[in-house]
Amino acid sequence: MDIVICGASIAHFERAASERYLAPMISTGPALAWSEHMDPFTGNYAPAFCKLLSGPRVWHFDELMRRCQGLEMSDPRDRVYALMHLAKDYEDGGIMVDYSKSVVDVALDAAVYFVQSKCELQFLKSTFLELPDDTDDSASDDTNDSASSACQHTRSPICNNTEKIQGDPAHPPTWLPHTWYGDVCKEVSWEIDYPTTMATKCSPHSVLRLHGRLRVRGMKIDIAKSLLIPCLEADDATARQFWGSSLGLYLRVFAGVGTKTLSLEFSDILMGASDHKWANRWLRNGAGGLATVHPEDLPHGTNKHRGAISALCALLRLAQDPRYADLPLRINGRLNEVLVGDFDLTTRAAMHRILNRLSHMGIIMTESKRLCRLPGCDLDEGDEMWIVLGCDVPIFVRPQPNGYYWHICAAEVPAILDDADVLSLSSNAQPGERIGKWVVQDIELE
């Protein structure tokens, strides 16, 4: 089957579905239109797309729910009812089909089944509390054109889950993944790729179905203190805006951009830890226009740290050069060749990685001076960082006056995932048990 756009056959379907094939021609009109059309299919690596790339495979329930989030269906309840029968780990009758239920109630039934069968809460990693839509254009100062003010109103909502969905209540549980009830978030692709060895199990009865709450057991290990925003949300974000942001200011004043000052922890936050995975993805997308590149040429291990430093120094030079300071860093998701044409491979690869990881993301500093990378969610100073059974990364929650908590988001925290006390938390931990300096507690998310 051929792809025809505006009367022109541009590619065979299976080849056009491949990022590797589209990358060299992505700047052309037809290919760009096709890429945008296919984004819900390819962006989350939907099962049918993966079949084209690597052949048939089996899928687990939570994988299907996550990978099919961009796909549409005539009845939103079929996001659960249709996909569950395709999952390897679903047993017939596990979820009773009832189209009279609301979309959120169907998603809650799915959560009950998932937790009862898996004793996991990994779906908390793909659940965020939306940002408030507090943008007020009338309040902006047109006379202030500084880089810092250029992005002070860019914290727009990621997922507007306060809107009513198919007649459901305006406020679904904060812990329930938006995509499970059809509130699709297209702006952010959030993936935690720092490796963890935590593998605890939660109680199969963690979902309190009658009240729509989730009871979790874990430890409060830190508190959010300072939010560092990189100002890279806009497609035309510039080097001047990045260095004028709160993250840029922190890097220049406190963290530094030299080999003797930038910590390994900060380079892990900027670059991530899955070198092989991100390097291969960069290669599949055309390696920034370079024809012959091999994975071993890209940053790895200690070279990754040097790559982060090289990229930050290059960004700083661009911000200080009036010819380049206000040019967009990326065009159609790829590095602007006008800016990076003379950069070496390591610098280009590292800059591509940093910009991708920080786009629509934030970095926070906790009270204990830990660095965390997290999606652009509604995190406030004072929100609590917890390690909970059944989830292999920390989550942030917010205490409520009624004694319950809101789930805010999961976070990538390299320092905490190597902590011996955190790793000693077991599935058999009981409330009141002390692990290091922390105490195991039960709380309920609403």
User: What ranges in 325-407 are assigned the alpha helix state H?
Assistant: 337-340, 345-358
pLDDT, position 289: 46
The Cα-based distances of 52 to 55, 145, 323, 365 in angstroms read 6, 48, 44, 42
Name residues of the chain where pLDDT drops below 50: 1-11, 19-26, 134-150, 152-169, 186-188, 286, 288-293, 295
Enumerate the domain spans of the chain: 2-49, 234-359
Question: Is the sign of the CA dihedral 46, 47, 51, 53 positive or negative?
Answer: positive
Question: Is the sign of the CA dihedral 89, 91, 92, 98 positive or negative?
Answer: negative
- Given 3-state DSSP classes, what are the helix, strand and coil percentages for the chain, each rounded to the nearest 5? 35, 15, 45
CB 161 within 8 A of CB 174: no
- Which two three-digit tokens encode residue 133? 């839509």
pLDDT, position 168: 45
What gap in Å lies between CA 248 and CA 148, rounded to an integer?
10
pLDDT, position 375: 82
Which residue type does 441 have?
Answer: Q
What gap in Å lies between CA 33 and CA 5, rounded to an integer?
8
CB 329 within 8 A of CB 239: yes
CB 68 within 8 A of CB 43: no
